[in-house]
Amino acid sequence: MKKQNYNETGLITADYPVFTKEMKATHKLLIPQMAPIHFRLIVEVFRQDGYDVEVLKNDGPSVVREGQQYVHNDACYPAILVIGQFIDALKSGAYDLDKTALIITQTGGGCRASNYIHLLRKALVKAGFPQIPVASLNFSGLERNSGFRLSLPMIGKALAACLYGDELMALYNQIKPYELRKGETDLLLNVWQQRIISCFAEGKGLKRREMQDIFECMAEDFSKIAVKRTQKTKVGIVGEIYVKYSPLGNNQLEEFLLKENCEINMPGLTGFLQYCISNVSQTISLYGGSELVKNVCRRALDFVVSREQLMVDAIKKHDNLRAPGLFSRTRELAQKFINLGAKMGEGWLLTGEMAELIETGFHNIICAQPFGCLPNHIVGKGMISKLRAYYPEANITPIDYDPSATKVNQENRIKLMIASAAESLRIAKESDRTSGHVIGGAGKDDFLINIKKVTGSLYL
């Protein structure tokens, strides 16, 4: 543990414990939960590289309490939650404090989210854990002194994990509300997650051909789940990345919507990754800069785009499944409303996702953001009237999340959105009176066969 030293101008000379390469062998790394479907896969990437990683699952009021105690209360909600979750875990006594380190993501860029890591370090000192090193997970070259580096193979694996996670999420969300036998979709999701993890362990599932196979088998399996198509409210969720995905951040939004008879559509994580890469070249196009960097980024983006295309094509083979929108499509739509130069936070991607959702029939959109989120003033709330002028059917509700914003208040506003949507549905229904027919196979036995098929259908 390093002691803090201040020089004569009040500055810190050696301030925080650095995560060194050696710690990989000795330390347990804690990572906060965000997107549950994806993180189960991504964590595996680190484990297989030799890191001892654990995703934090602690929640409850003590998380918020610790966060509020050690983080400036005007800081964004995700910072309060993530830091609260860390400190709550460290205080729980479940970890050897001399052999524990934390990882936190750092996006870089002009949003205050890039500062989480510093707020975390300050909080650790205040809470009496100054010895705990914090590693930054970022792609922007911040924190170069850290021993935590992503190797190229790891990045490739992480990308694959993102894509698989996106496909699983997309399929899960569109099947789950209609499943005939309760729990079947969850079971299949679990089977597939395990399958991918063991693929990764064998070093498989990364090549183009292998990915294509997995994408296709996955879609095939989900398409076979027996469903009963009933009239449901289609709700898209966009927003600040943490509160959008994390049930802890959004008060179990997905669970609530499912209970309210909705079908959810949540744009994937790979889109955000592509957005980050494309911003680098976009910035150079706008303001000038290295052509080399621009070309490297373009190549990288092309690579991700080609993989994404494989996934979308795989899903499109099934008429009863809906494929997520391609990144290029989202970007094209975004440009109708906002310049691609708006790159802080979720930036133009958020606006583009809203447009994309509306075009795919998800007119009802929840725009989830931490209270006072700066980029969202622009790309979220700021764009709603423009979107509505273009798509009069759009029904967008911004919801603020905050330690003190209550579920009752948020749910009341969501219910208003759903009620308005239900009304338009009724109007639509009057002209088309067909609903409630069963698609896909039925019967308990088929269910078991399905699961067997899953494991049997992989040629890897």
Partner 1 sequence: MVLCAGACAIPCFYILSNEGNFVKIGLDVGSTTIKAAVLSDDNRLLFSKYERHFSQINTKAAQLLAEIQAQFYGAQNFQLCVSGSAGMGLAELCEIPFEQEVFATRVCAKQFAPQADVIIELGGEDAKILFLSGLSDARMNGSCAGGTGAFIDQMATLLKLTPEQLNEKAKEHEKIYSIASRCGVFAKSDIQPLLNQGARVEDICASILYCVVNQTVAGLAQGRPIEGNVMYLGGPLTFMSELRLAFDNVLHNTGILPQNSLYFVALGAALQARGYHSLSDIQLRLTTRQKKSSFAHTKPFFESQQAYEQFAARHAGAQVLEKSLKDSSGKAHLGIDAGSTTLKAVLIDEQGDILFSSYRSNSANPVPLVKEILEHIYEECPDILLCSVTTTGYGEQLCREAFNADYGVVETMAHFAAAKRFQPDVDFIIDIGGQDMKCFQVEDGAISNIFLNEACSSGCGSFLQTFASALGQDIDSFAKLGLFADAPVELGSRCTVFMNSSVKQAQKDGASIENISAGLSLSVVKNALYKVIRASDPSELGQNVVVQGGTFYNDAVLRAFENEMGIEVTRPSIAGLMGAYGAALYGREQSSKEHRSSVLSKAELHDFSHRVQTTRCKLCTNHCELTVNHFSGGRRFISGNRCDRPTTNRKAEQTLNIYEYKLQLLDQYKPVPGPRGKVGIPLGLNMLELLPFWHTLLTRLGFEMHMSPKSSRELYFDGQQTIPSDTVCYPAKLMHGHIHALCSMEGIDTIFYPCMTYNVDEKLGDNHFNCPVVAYYPEVIDANCTAQLEGKKFIYDYVGIHRPNDFVANFTTALTKYFTGITTSAVGRATIAAYREYRAYLRRVRKRGEQIIQTAREKKKPIIVLAGRPYHVDNEINHGIDQLIVSQGAAVISEDCVSHLMNKENVRVLNQWTYHARLYAAARYIINEPDMNLVQLVSFGCGLDAVTADEVREILQRGNKLYTQIKIDEIANLGAVNIRLRSLFAALDAQAKNSAKKEAI
Place of tokens 């579920």: 407
Tell me the backbone φ, ψ of residue 239, rounded to 5 degrees: 145, -175
Q: What number of chain residues touch partner 1 (CB under 8 A)?
A: 82
Least Å from the CB of residue 129 to partner 1: 12
Among residue numbers 57 through 86, which ones bind partner 1 (CB under 8 A)? 60-61, 64-65, 68-70, 72-76
Measured from the CB atom, the residue of 230 and 285 that comes closer to partner 1 is 285
Measured from the CB atom, the residue of 177 and 375 that comes closer to partner 1 is 375
Measured from the CB atom, the residue of 315 and 399 that comes closer to partner 1 is 399
Measured from the CB atom, the residue of 119 and 243 that comes closer to partner 1 is 119
411 binds partner 1 (CB under 8 A): yes
Measured from the CB atom, the residue of 259 and 437 that comes closer to partner 1 is 259
What is the C-alpha to C-alpha distance for residues 394 and 408, in angstroms, rounded to an integer? 24
Measured from the CB atom, the residue of 201 and 419 that comes closer to partner 1 is 419
Contacting partner 1 (CB under 8 A), which of 288, 430, 437, 452? 288
Report the DSSP beta bridge partners of residue 28: 52, 100
The secondary structure of residue 319, as a DSSP letter, is T
Contacting partner 1 (CB under 8 A), which of 10, 50, 93, 436? 10
Measured from the CB atom, the residue of 47 and 386 that comes closer to partner 1 is 386
Handedness of CA 282, 287, 291, 293 (dihedral sign): negative
Contacting partner 1 (CB under 8 A), which of 28, 91, 413, 453? 413
Name the strand (E) or helix (H) holding 235.
strand 233-239
Contacting partner 1 (CB under 8 A), which of 161, 418, 447, 450? 418
The contact mask relative to partner 1 for 228-267 (x = CB under 8 A, - = no) is ----------------------------------------
Closest-CA residue to 229 (of 445, 417, 434, 451) = 434
Least Å from the CB of residue 233 to partner 1: 13
What is the C-alpha to C-alpha distance for residues 106 and 151, in angstroms, rounded to an integer? 17
Burial of 96 (0-12, 13-18, 19+ CB in 10 A): exposed
Least Å from the CB of residue 60 to partner 1: 7
Among residue numbers 31 through 60, which ones bind partner 1 (CB under 8 A)? 60
Residue 294 Cα distances to 278, 280, 298, angstroms? 9, 7, 6
Least Å from the CB of residue 50 to partner 1: 29
Q: What is the DSSP string of 49-95?
A: TT-EEEE----SHHHHHHHHHHS-TTS-HHHHHHHHHHHHHHHTT-S
Among residue numbers 108 through 167, which ones bind partner 1 (CB under 8 A)? 109-112, 114-115, 117-119, 121-122, 126-127, 142
Q: What is the DSSP string of 246-262?
A: -TTTTTSHHHHHHHTTE
The separation between the first and the last C-alpha atoms of the chain, rounded to the nearest angstrom, is 47
Among residue numbers 378 through 407, which ones bind partner 1 (CB under 8 A)? 378-379, 381-386, 389, 392, 398, 400, 402-407
Least Å from the CB of residue 117 to partner 1: 8
Measured from the CB atom, the residue of 102 and 171 that comes closer to partner 1 is 102
What is the C-alpha to C-alpha distance for residues 162 and 158, in angstroms, rounded to an integer? 6
Measured from the CB atom, the residue of 309 and 339 that comes closer to partner 1 is 339
202 binds partner 1 (CB under 8 A): no
Task: Tell how far CA 205 is from the center of its chain.
Answer: 21
Tokens of 311: 């996934």
Among residue numbers 333 through 352, which ones bind partner 1 (CB under 8 A)? 337-339, 341-345
Residue 389: partners with Cβ closer than 8 Å, 6 or more residues away: none
Least Å from the CB of residue 96 to partner 1: 24
Measured from the CB atom, the residue of 81 and 199 that comes closer to partner 1 is 81
377 binds partner 1 (CB under 8 A): yes
Name the strand (E) or helix (H) holding 263.
strand 262-265
Measured from the CB atom, the residue of 131 and 320 that comes closer to partner 1 is 131
Strand order in the sheet with 233-239: 262-265, 233-239, 364-370, 395-401
395, 417 Cβ separation under 8 angstroms: yes
Among residue numbers 90 through 119, which ones bind partner 1 (CB under 8 A)? 109-112, 114-115, 117-119
Contacting partner 1 (CB under 8 A), which of 131, 212, 320, 420? 420
Among residue numbers 297 through 336, which ones bind partner 1 (CB under 8 A)? none
Measured from the CB atom, the residue of 18 and 405 that comes closer to partner 1 is 405
Residue 199: partners with Cβ closer than 8 Å, 6 or more residues away: 205, 210, 214, 460
Task: Tell how far CA 100 is from the center of its chain.
Answer: 25
Least Å from the CB of residue 62 to partner 1: 9
Least Å from the CB of residue 256 to partner 1: 11
